[in-house]
Amino acid sequence: MARFLEDIKAGIDRDPSTKSGLELFLTSPGLHAVWNYRVANALWKAKLRILARMYANVGRLFTGIEIHPGATIGRRLVIDHGMGVVIGETAIIGDDVLMYHGVTLGGMVNDTVKRHPTIGDRVVLGANSLVLGNITIGNDAKVGAGAIVVKDLAAGKVAVSTPANVR
């Protein structure tokens, strides 16, 4: 129960348009997607892989957010305006990440290896950004809206433009 309350507080802290925990609970597809992922991930870890994938697909149907149950997600992930978000199977997301709509954490190879990004703590992923391949986005980094990132991004850096320029 504490994790659910923590998620609600994180959502309120990062979305100034949300006025209460009840409002967030009733209206946030990003919050619903994260909670749905947690159940699917527990099924995945219990080796109930098909059931986990089915459960994840139901969540995608209702939220428009696709999170593979095999992904690893830290605490207090906030997905704001989440429609079109895709998080791949081997993606790893740290704590306190803020993600906007259309973000893809995708793979670059068709193989059963670590093929999705690792996202550090306190990272901001802008709308429609693509972070592709087995790369690392360092703590406190920011990926601008529409940026395509295919190389590691050091902690505290900002990636903007297409292809992404690091500043």
Say what the pLDDT of residue 167 is: 75
Say what the pLDDT of residue 166 is: 77
pLDDT over 90 (residue 2): no
Q: Mean pLDDT over residues 92-114, rounded?
A: 96
pLDDT band of residue 11 (cuts 50, 70, 90) is: very high
Q: What is the spatial distance between Cα 105 and Cα 86, in angstroms, rounded to a whole number?
A: 6
pLDDT band of residue 46 (cuts 50, 70, 90) is: very high
pLDDT band of residue 49 (cuts 50, 70, 90) is: very high
Q: What is the Cα gyration radius of the chain?
A: 15
Q: How much helix, strand and coil, in percent to the nearest 5, is found in the chain?
A: 30, 20, 45
User: CA 27 → CA 11, 33, 135, distances in Å?
Assistant: 11, 12, 33
Say what the pLDDT of residue 164 is: 66
Give the global pTM: 0.93
Q: Mean pLDDT over residues 18-46, rounded?
A: 96
Tokens of 31: 């919050």
Q: Where are the domains of the chain?
A: 2-166
pLDDT over 80 (residue 165): no
Say what the pLDDT of residue 163 is: 67
User: CA 24 → CA 7, 72, 76, 133, 163, distances in Å?
Assistant: 10, 23, 14, 32, 35
Which one is the CATH code of 2-166: 3.40.640.10, 2.40.110.10, 3.55.30.10, 2.160.10.10?
2.160.10.10
pLDDT band of residue 162 (cuts 50, 70, 90) is: confident
pLDDT over 90 (residue 63): yes
